[in-house]
Structure 1
Amino acid sequence: MHLYPALPLLLCATAAPAQNAPPPAIPVETLKTVTQTLSSDAYEGRAPTTPAEAKTVAYIVERMKAAGLKPGNAGKWTQDVPMVEVTATDVKPFVFTGGRETVSLDYRTDMVAGTYRVVPRIAVKDSEVVFVGYGITAPEQGWDDYAGLDVRGKTVVVLVNDADWQTAGREGPFEGRAMTWYGRWPYKFENAARHGAAAAIIVHQTEPAAYGWPVVQSSWTGPQLELDERGDHLDQSQVVGWIQQAAALKLFASAGKDLAALTTAAQTKGFRAVPLGLKLSTGFANTIRRQASQNVVGILPGTTAPKDVVLYSAHWDHIGRCDAVDGDDICNGAVDNASGIAGLIALAEAQAKAGAAKRSMVFLAVTAEESGLLGSRYYAEHPVYPLASTVGGVNMDVLNVDGASKDFVLEAAGKSEIEDLAKPIVAAGGRTISPEPNPERGGYFRSDHFSFAKLGVPMLSGASGEDLVKGGTAAGHAATLDYIANRYHKPQDEYQPNWDWSGAVQDLQVYYALGRKLADDVNLWPTWYKTSEFRAIRDKSRPAR
C-alpha cells in the first residue's frame, strides 16, 4: 500500500508490459473519482440487496461502458446471483449451565450469533458443550480433533487459526505461521456441521484472528447473506458464532478447566476433545428475505482466440450500515473495496485504449465478498465463460494508497505458475519479491480469487509490500496496523484526498502487463504446481492442455 507524492494525474508504467510495448498510462483520476464516488455516503456502504446496490451497479456499468467494454453476459451487463438474507432478531444470551456458576453471555458485547439455516426460528436447549481444540480434520496430516467423538446435537467450542500459528517460521503440519484453510472460520463452521454439531462457537483472539472484536461485531450482526440454494442450508449447524476471549476464560473457569492449558494441549497431534460438563441454551428469531444480487460483467473481446478468457476481478460490496462511531453508522469501504473497483475500471480503460488482445479480457465486479465470497463463488460455479477456457487472471481487493513500495508480495507463494509470469514484471519495475509479512492472517483464503482457485483457475493475489520508499518497512508495517486497528470494516474507512496513489499505480502496472501477456500469448496456459491442492482439478478441467 505505497507511492510517490505530487505525480501527475496519469502515471506511466514502472514495469514494462509484454512484447516491449510502450507502457500505458494508468488513469489516476479514474482511481480517485471512482473510489470517492462509490465510498460516499450516498452509496450507504454498498451492502448487497439494499437500495444502494442498484445505484452501485448502475455506476459500475456506466464506467465500464465509458471505458470501451461490451456487456459480458450474452448482451447483458449483469449476472443475477440468488441471495437469501437472514436477520437474527431477539437474540437470547448464551446461557451455560452445569458449571460452578451459571454463565450468561450477552449478544454483541460478549458474543455474536447467527445461522446459515433459512428457518423462522432457532432454538438450542441444553446442548452439551465440548471443546474440540482447533476443530481440524486433516487426514493427510493424520490430524483429527473430532476423533472418536460424536457431537450430533452438541455444541463445539473451537479455537481460531491453526494449531501451529505461533510457530515463528513456516514449518509445521499447517505451514507454521501461515494460516491455512483449516485455520479460517468458514472451515471450522463447515467441519462442525459435517460432524452434526448443533452449535459451533469460535473463541476470538485478536492476533490469531487477525482482527479485533469490533470487526467480528460489525460483520456478524445485522442482515447476513447466503446463496439461495435448494435445501435452505438445513445441513448446517443451528447456531454459529463467536465469543470474546474474556468470556471464554469465564466459561472454562466455570467448568473447572484451564483454557490456556487446553489450548497448549490442542496444539499437539493426538489431542482429544474435552467435554466441559456444561449445557448451552440460546435462540433467536429470523427475518428472511429472498432477493437476487448482481455481479457486473464487462468484456473486451479477443481478436483471434476470443473463447479464451483472461479475468480481472474485484468486489463492489461492503457492509453497509454498521455500528456507529461518533454518530456515523455508514461503513463506506473506501479502501475495501471501492479502491479495487476503481482499479478494475482503470485497467479496463488502459486495456481498451491499447486495443483488443488475441484472447478476450473479462472485467468482473462481484457482489457479496464480505458475506463469504458469495458473488465470486456463484460465478465460479455458474460461469458466464467456462472455467476450462479461463486462462487465469488477477483479483484486486484493496489498493495501496500509502505510497510507493520497494517490494511486491505474492500471497500463498509457491502454488501456481502464474507467479512465474508475474516475477519478471515486478523485477522490471525495480522491485523485489518479499514473503508475506503477516501470513497468519490467511489473506489468500479471504478474497475472491479463492473461489476460482478452488475450481482450478490460477489467479494472482499479490500487491505492494510493506517496504515503503518513504519510511521503509517500519512505516509500511505501521500503516498496515493502523488501517486494521482504526479503519478496517469501520465507518472510518473513508476516502481521503491526500492519499498517495503511486503504489496503486505500481501494482496496476503489474496487473496490466500480466493480463496483456496472458491475453496475447495464446500458447500460455498457466497451471498449479504439482504440490498444490488445486492442480488436479485444473488438469481435469482441460486435459488437452
Structure 2
Amino acid sequence: MGAIFRLVAGMAALSALSGCVATRTAGPDPLAAETIEADLRDHISILASDEFEGRKPGTEGERKTLRYLAEAWQAAGLVSATNDPAHPWFAPVDLDLRAPESSSARFSRRGRYLAYPESRLKLFTAARRALIEDAPVLFVGPLGGSLEQPELTGRVAVLFAENDARAGQREALVANGAAAVLTIFTDNAQFENEALARANGGFRLTGESDGAVVDGIMAMDAAEALFGGERVAALLEQARRADFRPMPLDLKATLEARSTPGTVRTHNLIAKLPGSDPTAGAVMLLAHWDHFGTCGDESSTDRVCNGAVDNASGLAVLTELARRLAKGARMDRDVYFVATTAEEWGLLGARAFTRDPPLPLESIVAAFNIDTIALAPAGGPVAIVGQNLTTLDREVEGVINSAGRKVEQRDYAARFVRRQDGWALLQSDVPTLMISSAFARPDLMQRYTAERYHRANDEIGALELGGAAEDVLLHMALVRHFASKVSHP
C-alpha cells in the first residue's frame, strides 16, 4: 500500500509507437456522423476493455490508458504541453491513499442504544483514525455552506444521496465544523454499488486533509431502524421544501473509523495543438480518464468496472477532436487537450491542474469538459452544464444554433455543475462549460444512473453513439470559434 506507482521507464518519451492505436479506413467523408460514430466505438472498445482493468489510478490500467491516449494524440499531431522537460506529456499528481481498515457505530436515544442492521452502514475516514463520541445527530437536508459553524460543530450531519450536489455539500459541511457526514441511500442497489466502490479505498491530493472526519453511507433499512420508517419519509419530504431548516434527530452517535495509509503517483496527460499566435491565449478540452478498477461483487464473474460511458466515451470524443482539428487549418490560439486523473475521487486531477498549471489560467479563453457522453441518439438537443456561470453563454448558444442544434434541460443540467471536472476550473475562474446531448436527456441519464453507473455492466455493448458523434462536430465548431481572434477577439 505504501509503494508509489510509477509509469514504466521511457513511456514519457514515446520514442517508439507500439501500434496499439486503433486505426480504420476513413469513409469518403471523415466528418460524416457514421464515420465519427465508428471511430468513437473503436476507441471505447479498447479503453473500456477488461485488458485496461477499469482504469484505476496507480495501476497497470493507468499505464495502458495513458500510453494508448498519448500515442493516439501524438499520431494526430499534438505535442507535449506539460512545460516540464522532466515530465513531458505526463504531469505527476501525488495522492494519499486511505484503505478502510475497521469501523464501528453506536446510536442512542436518551441513553438507550438502538439496534440496526450493522452491515448496512459503512464508515470511512481520510485519517489514520477518527473517533466521535456521543455527538448529536442533525438532519441537514440539502443545506451545506449556508449553515453556520455553531449549527454544525461537533455534530453528525445526515443527508440523502438524492441530492445531486452532495459532493460539494459534504465539503461545505466539513469546512463548517461537522464531525461526521452520513449519507442515506434510498436505492439499495446504489448503496451496494457505493459500498463496493469505496471498499478499495479513496484518494486525496497529498498534503490535503479535512482532518479526522468520519464519512459514512447508510442503506434505507438502517435509516428506518434508527429513525423510524415514517420519520425517514417525512425527512425526505421536508428536505424538498424551499424553507427547510436543519432538524435535530434526538439521537447521539459514537462513530469510529480506521484506515491504512499509502501513496500513489498518478498522472494528468497534457498536450496541445499549437496555434499561430502563442500570445493570444488558449482553448482547452478535457475529459477524465480514470474509473474504479474492480468493483463488482466478489461472487460475480465480472468484477471489472469498465467505465465505457463514464468516461471512455469522453476520452474517445477528446481523441477524435484531436485527430480532426489537427487536419484542418491552423488556428490562432493553442488548443490544449487534458486527460485528468482521479475525477471519481473528488475532481483531484483537475484540481491539481489548477494548482500547477502549464499555462497561466487567465490565458484560457474557454474550456469544455467532456464526460459521460455516450447515451443520447442522434437528432436531439444539447444541455449546457455551467450555464449562467461564465460570460461564454451568448457565443456558445450562437455556435449551437448555427450548427442546427437546440439547448434544452437547463434545470436538470444545473444539478451536475459540481460533479464534473469543469467545477474545479470554474473555482479558479476559468470559463468552463460541459455541452452534451446526454445531459439533455434526463430519462436516459436517470436510467443509466440506476442500472449501469459505476457498475461492472457499463460496457461497450450498451452504448448509443449517435448523439456523441454529433457532439464531436459541435465541439469542433466551438473550438474553432473560440480559437479564432476574429470570431472571439
**Which of 263, 269, 276 matches 1:296?**
269
Query: Following TM superposition, by how much is the alpha carbon of 1:127 offset from its aligned partner in structure 2, in angstroms?
Result: 2.9
Q: 1:306 to 1:10 in 2, by over 3 A?
A: farther
Query: Following TM superposition, by how much is the alpha carbon of 1:39 offset from its aligned partner in structure 2, in angstroms?
Result: 0.7
The worse-fitting range, judged by mean Cα deviation, of 338-347 and 404-413 is 404-413
1:106-505 aligned at under 5 Å gives the runs: 106-107=118-119, 110-117=120-127, 119=128, 121-138=129-146, 144=147, 146=148, 149=151, 151-160=152-161, 184-206=165-187, 212-229=190-207, 233=209, 235-253=210-228, 258-265=231-238, 273-306=246-279, 308-324=281-297, 326-436=300-410, 438-439=412-413, 442-464=415-437, 479-496=444-461, 499-505=463-469
- Give CA-to-partner distance per residue, 1:464-494, whole Å, 9 cap, x none: 1588xxxxxxxx6654343222211110011
For the pair 1:508 / 2:472, whether they are aligned, the reply is: yes
Q: 1:435 to 1:401 in 2, by over 3 A?
A: closer
Provide TM-score, normalisation by structure 2. 0.85
**Which of 59, 67, 77 matches 2:89?**
77
8 Å Cα contact 2:438-2:445 kept in structure 1: no
Query: Following TM superposition, by how much is the alpha carbon of 1:273 offset from its aligned partner in structure 2, in angstroms?
Result: 4.1
Query: Following TM superposition, by how much is the alpha carbon of 1:263 offset from its aligned partner in structure 2, in angstroms?
Result: 4.9
Aligned to 1:176: none
| Structure 2 segments unaligned to the other structure (5+ residues) | 1-25
Alpha-carbon distance in 2 for matches of 1:370, 1:301: 30
Alpha-carbon distance in 1 for matches of 2:281, 2:377: 35
- Give CA-to-partner distance per residue, 1:208-256, whole Å, 9 cap, x none: xxx9334432343322011112xx51x44520122123322221139xx
Paired AA for residue 326 in structure 2 = A
Q: What's the secondary structure of 2:354's corresponding residue?
A: helix
1:527-538 aligned at under 5 Å gives the runs: none
Equivalent pairs, count = 459
Q: 1:443 to 1:8 in 2, by over 3 A?
A: farther
Q: 1:10 to 1:242 in 2, by over 3 A?
A: farther
- Give CA-to-partner distance per residue, 1:98-150, whole Å, 9 cap, x none: 3565234424xx22321233x2x333333332333434343xxxxx4x5753x
For the pair 1:89 / 2:101, whether they are aligned, the reply is: yes
Paired AA for residue 91 in structure 1 = S
Alpha-carbon distance in 2 for matches of 1:156, 1:291: 30
Paired AA for residue 330 in structure 1 = V
Alpha-carbon distance in 2 for matches of 1:310, 1:500: 28
Alpha-carbon distance in 1 for matches of 2:103, 2:185: 19
Q: What's the secondary structure of 1:417's corresponding residue?
A: coil
Paired AA for residue 80 in structure 2 = P
8 Å Cα contact 1:376-1:451 kept in structure 2: yes
8 Å Cα contact 2:383-2:410 kept in structure 1: yes
8 Å Cα contact 2:343-2:350 kept in structure 1: yes
Q: 1:268 to 1:432 in 2, by over 3 A?
A: closer
Alpha-carbon distance in 2 for matches of 1:318, 1:438: 24
8 Å Cα contact 2:272-2:334 kept in structure 1: yes
Aligned to 1:98: 109
Alpha-carbon distance in 2 for matches of 1:269, 1:433: 27
Provide TM-score, normalisation by structure 1. 0.77
- Give CA-to-partner distance per residue, 1:314-338, whole Å, 9 cap, x none: 0101111102374211100011111
Paired AA for residue 407 in structure 1 = P
RMSD of the TM alignment (CA)?
A: 3.0
8 Å Cα contact 1:95-1:105 kept in structure 2: no
Alpha-carbon distance in 2 for matches of 1:398, 1:252: 36
Query: Following TM superposition, by how much is the alpha carbon of 1:29 offset from its aligned partner in structure 2, in angstroms?
Result: 4.3
Percent identical residues: 28
8 Å Cα contact 1:197-1:237 kept in structure 2: no
Q: 1:11 to 1:420 in 2, by over 3 A?
A: farther
Alpha-carbon distance in 1 for matches of 2:28, 2:159: 50
Alpha-carbon distance in 2 for matches of 1:267, 1:433: 27
| Structure 1 segments unaligned to the other structure (5+ residues) | 1-6, 15-24, 139-143, 163-182, 468-475, 526-545
Q: 1:520 to 1:95 in 2, by over 3 A?
A: same
Query: Following TM superposition, by how much is the alpha carbon of 1:381 offset from its aligned partner in structure 2, in angstroms?
Result: 2.0
